[in-house]
């Protein structure tokens, strides 16, 4: 197994450096040398917490891969650590976050995504069990219901029981699609109460932030701490709210969407670095895959609103993507090289 992984990593590194050679030609050698040097000296310290080096050199491999997944856009986590159980419910191994083992968990976002998937596939078993989970795992409050995560996320300073605007909206969108198949009034009632949660602010246990012009529905809300303002999660929640309104005519969903739209338009320019996008307003540069998500989301918002702001933003961010191919190759090469060194030392 170790030999196979070594061969895969070597091949991937070779391909990454080959792309550099093809595109840089006469400058390929110094650039490749810089890539490898930076990989060995800077990559772990730049992208990991203070315990990173200890984790890298003590193994086992699963811990290393999970550490990479925390900070990079690798596909290893989605391919290797997604577990579909016998009843077809999905669970994800979140591995280690800031040195804390999280392990296998599920949440309303994952369940919502898979309920949508199973509905499209007409998978009766999957539909039955993912919808059952969503309908049995929310918390009932006086005026609203809310889904909570039963695990901590120390990388976002979130304790067990945290809530999320994105996770909430995806659960509601999935239930909306499920409702379209059976017209069960119980589900419609849950959807309406779930929408009420979007009016609960962070300090009161919700995820709404009163912004400059409207509301921001935070993906990772934290009481008493500066909110990160995660872009992709917020836009996804708006898209979900719009879908719910279109399919059900619930006016609250429309009002929530409109208030969120005002805030998005007000803050959108803050996510533009000038040559890339920020993942959040804590100024974390977006991973390559998240940058692509941002572009897709801008196009989705343009289709809904017909507002040229989103179209022009998508076009500009797409140009950044084309101009910064070296950034992507650099990250791939660095990741591969560190994995290679790790395996040689284990």
For 98-160, list the strands marked E by DSSP: 100-101, 104-105, 138-140, 145-147
Per-residue pLDDT tens for 252-311?
Answer: 999 999 999 999 999 999 999 998 999 999 988 888 789 999 999 999 999 999 999 999
* Bigger pLDDT: 56 vs 131: 131
Residue 192 belongs to some domain of the structure: no
Under 8 Å between Cβ of 77 and 48: no
Residue 19 lies in a domain: yes
Tokens at residue 96, please? 């280690």
Q: How far is CA 239 from CA 164, 194, 298, 302, 304, in A?
A: 15, 16, 11, 11, 8
The dihedral through the CA atoms of 47, 53, 54, 59 has a sign that is positive
Q: Model-level pTM?
A: 0.75
Q: Are 102 and 94 in contact (CB under 8 A)?
A: yes
Residue 327 has pLDDT above 70, yes or no: no
Whether 96 and 56 have beta carbons less than 8 Å apart is answered as no
In tens, the pLDDT along 141-194 reads 999 999 999 999 988 889 999 999 999 999 999 999 999 999 999 999 999 999
CA–CA gap between residue 314 and residue 293 (Å, rounded): 10
Whether 38 is in a domain gets the answer yes
Q: What is the three-class DSSP state of 59? A: coil
Q: Give the integer Cα–Cα distance in Å for 183 and 143.
A: 23
Q: What is the reported pLDDT for 23?
A: 57
Using CA of residue 145, residue 151, residue 153, residue 159, what is the dihedral sign? positive
How many angstroms separate the CA atoms of 288 and 296, rounded?
13
- Residue 17 scores a pLDDT above 80: no
- Give the pLDDT score at 341: 54
Q: How many structural domains is the chain composed of?
A: 1
Structural domain contains residue 9: yes
pLDDT tens digits for range 93-130? 887 777 788 889 999 999 999 999 999 999 999 999 99
Most trustworthy range by pLDDT among 6-15, 62-71, 185-194, 280-289: 185-194
Whether 68 maps to a domain, the answer reads yes
**pLDDT of 199:** 98
d(CA 246, CA 240): 10
For 19, the domain range is 1-72
The answer to whether residues 78 and 95 touch, using CB atoms and an 8 Å cutoff, is no
Structural domain includes residue 171: no
In a domain, 299, yes or no: no
Measuring CA to CA, how many Å separate 254 from each of 67, 152, 175, 260, 266?
Answer: 40, 32, 17, 10, 19
Coil, helix or strand at residue 75: coil
Inside any domain, residue 12: yes
Residues 6+ apart with CB under 8 A from 41: none
Question: What is the overall mean pLDDT for the chain?
Answer: 81
Is residue 251 predicted with pLDDT exceeding 90?
Answer: yes
């Amino acid at each position: 197994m170790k030999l196979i992984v070594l061969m895969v990593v070597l091949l991937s590194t070779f391909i990454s450096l080959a792309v550099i050679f093809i595109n840089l030609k006469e400058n390929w050698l110094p650039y490749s040398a810089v890539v490898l040097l930076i990989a060995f000296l800077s990559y772990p310290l730049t992208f990991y917490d203070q315990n990173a080096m200890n984790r890298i050199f003590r193994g086992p491999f699963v811990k290393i891969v999970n550490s990479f997944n925390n900070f990079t856009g690798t596909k290893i986590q989605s391919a290797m650590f997604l577990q579909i159980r016998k009843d077809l419910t999905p669970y994800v191994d979140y591995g280690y976050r800031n040195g804390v083992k999280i392990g296998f968990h599920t949440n309303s976002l994952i369940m919502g995504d898979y309920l949508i998937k199973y509905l499209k596939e007409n998978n009766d078993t999957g539909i039955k069990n993912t919808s059952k989970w969503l309908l049995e795992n929310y918390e009932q409050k006086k005026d609203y219901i809310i889904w909570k995560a039963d695990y901590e996320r120390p990388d976002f300073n979130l304790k067990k029981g945290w809530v999320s605007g994105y996770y909430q909206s995806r659960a509601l969108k999935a239930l909306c699609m499920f409702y379209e198949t059976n017209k069960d009034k119980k589900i419609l009632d849950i959807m309406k109460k779930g929408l009420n949660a979007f009016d609960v602010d962070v300090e009161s246990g919700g995820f709404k932030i009163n912004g400059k012009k409207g509301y921001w529905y935070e993906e990772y809300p934290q009481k008493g701490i500066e909110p990160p303002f995660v872009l992709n999660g917020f836009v996804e929640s708006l898209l979900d709210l719009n879908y719910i309104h279109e399919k059900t005519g619930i006016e609250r969903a429309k009002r929530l969407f409109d208030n969120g739209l005002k805030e998005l338009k007000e803050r959108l320019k803050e996510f533009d670095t000038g040559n890339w996008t920020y993942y959040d307003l804590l100024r974390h540069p977006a991973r390559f895959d998240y940058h692509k998500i941002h572009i897709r989301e801008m196009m989705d918002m343009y289709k809904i609103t017909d507002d040229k702001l989103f179209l022009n933003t998508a076009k500009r961010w797409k140009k950044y993507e084309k101009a910064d191919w070296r950034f992507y190759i650099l990250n791939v090469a660095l990741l591969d090289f560190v994995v290679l060194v790790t395996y040689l030392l284990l």
